Structure 1
Amino acid sequence: MLRSLSVRVMIALAAGLALGALAAAFGGADVKFAIGLIEAVGNLWLNSLRMTVVPLIFAVMVTGIAGVADAAATGRLAVRTLIWIAVLMTLSAVFALGFAQVFYAIWPVAGPGVAALRAGAVAAPEVAKAAPTFTGFVAGLAPGNILKAASEDAILPMVVFAGFFGFAVTRLPDGRREAFTAIFQSLGDVMVTIVRWVLAAAPVGVFALALGVGLRAGVGAAGVIAHYVTAIVLGNVGMTLVAYVVAMLGRVPLGRFARAVAPVQVTAFATQSSLACLPAMIERCRDDLGVPDRVSGLVLPLAVSVFRITGPVANFGVALFVTQVYGVHPSAMQYLGATLVAVATSMASVGLPGQVSFFASIAPICLSLGLPVDLLPILIAVEVIPDIFRTVGNVTADMALAAVLAKGEAGATAAVSPA
């Protein structure tokens, strides 16, 4: 069990919080000074993660868009698949906003535990930027200086530029396009390698940061972290239920779909990998849902490549939790921008390792809302729990999408007939 990085990180989190709280209660000035020195190691680890965000997101967006454009050229079914994916990902981001409003109205993030967690952040929270006007928001979508936008963490303009850049690459002749795409693929691979190196030290980094959190916050932060896990898990469960509704749009009876997807969900729960579930998804769609091979053979690999329906609701949900912790109230334009960033980064980060994609997907959303990212290293320590429900929701949506797209295709009568 200790071979699992996630388990080691969770142990480091618990140990850091506990030792920090003990130091606050019983330690003298020398102990607290020593913890401050150790916390500097945590800051170094955090900054090592931060430095990869901009190049990683840019690289994976360019290569992802180029790959999607190539897939779209395979025909009408691929185009329909991509349209459905874009619509469902946007729905997921909107669902996140609505769910957060209801959830935090019923169970507010409040009390001494919130103040404790906020006090334990590595840096003081930034104040959300002044609310932009709609005209200013539209004008700011295109960065006047992409390097300046990247250096100032203006993520949405950078994402827009990466989108245009990626589509422009697809217009190059085949040989040059492949060579150009390979460069950005290599850049993305290099960034992932760096992040993996940094994450290999995650137990040390999280322990160092948690010591500081425990020193300043005591044990009160533990309840707020449990609050966070509950919010993200329930958001993922809600989006999974939406996937069942999507399947019904393909005229698949609910019970039939539930029986077909259940074995795949068990695999997803155990592996936390949509890719590992792909063979089972293809088999269940063919045998239990009657989806033609030519439909499942295109839709499911494409869905695994660019579609994570729980991505926006979970990633946006993390950022919305951070707004609750800091009491920040972003403007409508900031929410709109964050919604676009949530969809774009969720699609761009598909295929990245879970802990890599956590920071690469959520940090841009936080920055677009004017939020600090200093809590993310603490939250990533408990990501193993929400990640189980993320994967279950994703494979459920992948099979639902295949069922919907089988509707109307020749030879798909078995998919739409009653059980």
Structure 2
Amino acid sequence: MFRSLSVLVLAALVGGLVLGAAIHATESPVLTTGAETFEAVGALWLNALRMTIVPLVFSLLVTGVASAADAAATGRLAARSFMIFAAVLVVAALYGAGAMNGLLALWPIDPAGAAALTSAAQAGEVVATPTGFREWLPTLAPANPVRAAAEDAILQIVVFGLVFGFAVTRLRHDLRAPLIAFFRAISETMIIIVRWVLVAAPLGVFALALGIGLRTGLDAAGVLTQYVVMVSAVTIGVLIIPYALVAVLRGRDLGRFARACAPVQVLAFSTQSSLACLPAMVERTRDELGASARVTGVVLPLAVAVFRMTSPVANLAVAFFIVRLYGLEPGGGQIAAAIAVSLAVSVGAVGLPGQISFFASMAPICLALGAPLEILAILLAVEVIPDIFRTVGNITADMAVAAVVPEPAEAPEAEDPRIPPQASGVV
């Protein structure tokens, strides 16, 4: 469903831009008024998506933390996997922020094209106030979580959600289970609403793209192309991390690892689904890399369930592109907050379809940077291309962790007390 929807949304984007540009060229007052009226449909669709963000993010964090804690408690192999997952995610997030800002310095966004693209957002004057560490640190803990939710103070919501989720894991099972089920029900309800809203995505994106074309013609097309190229390049670049991990910990097996990954990467490119690639990952990791059944049976399913290396990378790349698009200059505190939020939401949004996770993951990061959310609706239309490389990077990282995770030694078998110890010496 979502793959065909992505094609329809992309077609709606192109159609809206072309039709808007044609109306712009005619300078017809009647057609212009009609197009501006229809543009309100896009604003309504965008607001319908925004209304799910806070409850969805909070409930996903609570259930994500609880699920991860339960998985880590299953044994030493899972715990060691989680340590590698966490280290890779932190390195990937730092890489994503640095690489995208570096690319933007080498290839700045054209101001005219940026103005054309942001004209559809209708976000008013957007200002990101630089925040120093001394001002930023107290904002981590929300004095009033309800007010933080109302004011879209997303970092405070994320912190509260993480603390709440870890606290839930300390409850007795009879108290913990219904509470986790409650928040899982909330997240599933929000996802159902998002699915409903996304059914209308071609119409909503068409209306928003119509507004862009109406005001600026096709000037925004070049910026959208730059966005796709830059986000895809940053996402492809993160592949160096799993290969470096294997090279450092299993240096002589790097070529073998590359050969084992290649067929699965092709499958990921075509399916855009880590879950669909799981059987092939298990087969190649077991047969080509010599991993035990215990590793392939625990680490790979666990990685698919809770680990997405490319999530913070691509999400930060998108967020920093939006920041430059609006000419914002976030402070160090806001950048640190965005990186922290990207790591947190990468756990909560695992397993969601691409269109849903795009909004659930991107909205908190943009809010942390002080960037508007309206432009996300336009970028959703072209996300289908970078999403291919997200999946390829994720399955490569999953297989790398399975290849390097130290497997706990088997416990020695206890001696049967009924069998006397063998005598030493020559009989």
* Structure 2, unpaired ranges of 5+: 412-427
Contact between 1:125 and 1:326, CA under 8 Å: does it hold in 2? no
Contact between 1:286 and 1:293, CA under 8 Å: does it hold in 2? yes
Aligned length: 410
Contact between 2:77 and 2:408, CA under 8 Å: does it hold in 1? no
Q: Corresponding residue for 2:102?
A: 102
Q: How far has the Cα of 1:410 moved from its partner?
A: 6.7
AA matched with 2:356: V
Contact between 1:120 and 1:215, CA under 8 Å: does it hold in 2? no
Q: Corresponding residue for 1:273?
A: 273
1:381 counterpart = 2:381: yes
* Residue correspondence of structure 1 range 119-138 to structure 2 within 5 A: 119-128=119-128, 130-138=129-137
Contact between 2:65 and 2:347, CA under 8 Å: does it hold in 1? no
AA matched with 1:16: G
Change (3 A) 1:117 1:263: same
Q: Secondary structure at the match of 1:91?
A: helix
What TM-score comes out, normalization by structure 1 length? 0.95
Query: Which piece of structure 1 moves more, 258-267 or 388-397?
Result: 258-267
1:52 counterpart = 2:52: yes
* Residue correspondence of structure 1 range 237-386 to structure 2 within 5 A: 237-251=236-250, 253-386=253-386
Query: Which piece of structure 1 moves more, 139-148 or 85-94?
Result: 85-94
* Structure 1, unpaired ranges of 5+: 412-419
Q: Corresponding residue for 1:113?
A: 113
Query: Which piece of structure 1 moves more, 187-196 or 167-176?
Result: 167-176
Q: Secondary structure at the match of 1:21?
A: helix
1:54-87 deviation line (CA, Å, top 9, x unaligned): 0001111101111111111112222221121112
Q: Distance in 1 between matches of 2:102 and 2:156?
A: 30
Change (3 A) 1:205 1:290: same
1:16 counterpart = 2:16: yes
AA matched with 1:226: T
Q: Distance in 2 between matches of 1:126 and 1:275?
A: 39
Change (3 A) 1:153 1:378: same
Contact between 1:249 and 1:404, CA under 8 Å: does it hold in 2? no
Q: How far has the Cα of 1:236 moved from its partner?
A: 0.9
Contact between 1:113 and 1:223, CA under 8 Å: does it hold in 2? yes
* Residue correspondence of structure 1 range 189-200 to structure 2 within 5 A: 189-200=188-199
1:174 counterpart = 2:176: no
1:185-241 deviation line (CA, Å, top 9, x unaligned): 110000000000000000000001110011112101001000000011101111112
Change (3 A) 1:38 1:163: same
1:216 counterpart = 2:215: yes
Q: How far has the Cα of 1:336 moved from its partner?
A: 0.3
Q: Distance in 1 between matches of 2:409 and 2:115?
A: 56
Identical aligned pairs, as a percentage?
A: 54
Q: Distance in 1 between matches of 2:119 and 2:319?
A: 18
Q: Distance in 1 between matches of 2:265 and 2:348?
A: 24
Larger Rg: 2
Contact between 1:232 and 1:314, CA under 8 Å: does it hold in 2? yes
Q: Secondary structure at the match of 2:220?
A: helix
Contact between 1:291 and 1:406, CA under 8 Å: does it hold in 2? no
Q: Distance in 2 between matches of 1:391 and 1:2?
A: 15
Change (3 A) 1:331 1:55: same
Change (3 A) 1:7 1:406: same
Q: Corresponding residue for 1:153?
A: 152
Q: How far has the Cα of 1:136 moved from its partner?
A: 2.6
Q: Corresponding residue for 1:28?
A: 28
Q: Distance in 1 between matches of 2:11 and 2:126?
A: 29
Contact between 1:17 and 1:210, CA under 8 Å: does it hold in 2? yes
Q: How far has the Cα of 1:175 moved from its partner?
A: 2.3
Q: Secondary structure at the match of 1:289?
A: coil
The CA RMSD measured in Å over matched residues stands at: 1.7
Q: Corresponding residue for 1:390?
A: 390
Q: Distance in 2 between matches of 1:334 and 1:42?
A: 29
